[in-house]
Amino acid sequence: MTSSDAPDTLPAPAGRRCFGDGDPLYERYHDEEWGVPVHGERELFERMTLEAFQSGLAWITILRRREGFREAFAGFDPAVVAGFDEHDVERLMADTGIIRNRAKITAAVANARALLELHGRGFSLDELFWSAAPLAAGTRPRPRTFADVPATTPESAALAKELKRHGFRFVGPTTAYAAMQACGIVDDHLADCPVVLARAAG
């Protein structure tokens, strides 16, 4: 979810979601996934890949094709995706269950290979992503509108730079920050969001 999905720049009425109201799929994503900490190589590879495919599109477009993406990319098993060749790229370009963008497809394959090379050097995608967690994440005021939510941060720029250094593609500072939001590395639920209110009440 990026700033292009934000409903408005006014404070949301108490009980209104940050985004997704009215669409059950989007509501579930907002309530159960967005901002929840994610760990694990396959899980993070999936989120990173989907965020890259989302670039220029609404996040709901990706959500509606999520199962298609999982099927097309072998459950986001990086060892399998890293072995995709030109025939697989052409297969994916013909797959109506995903976003058929050649640059994004080839980047996903390249990123799977970069992930395996990262493991070969004794690192993990998990530690790379979570090293970008802001030191003062739990102390900053919770945003009241999406105008208060940045599109990029110094941490997302540093993460994008580090990913690029390790051979990852199609993950600039904006996409990196969207992935940080999606994976709970930062929590940008608005102050009056029902998820936040439920936590406070619980």
Q: Which residues are catalytic?
A: 29, 51, 59
Our measurement of the distance from residue 131's CA atom to the centroid of its chain's CA atoms, rounded to an integer in Å, reads 16
Please calculate the CA angle 160-178-20 and round it to the nearest 5 degrees.
170
Query: Which of these, 50, 68, 55, lies nearest to 5 by C-alpha position?
Result: 55
Structure tokens at 35: 């901002």
Under 8 Å between Cβ of 177 and 42: no
> How many Cβ atoms sit within 10 Å of the Cβ of residue 136?
6
For residue 58, the 8-state DSSP code is -
Burial of residue 170 (CB within 10 Å: 0-12, 13-18, 19+) is buried
Q: Is 151 left (phi over 0), alpha (psi -120 to 50) or beta?
A: alpha
Separation between Cα atoms, residue 174 and residue 13, nearest integer Å:
27
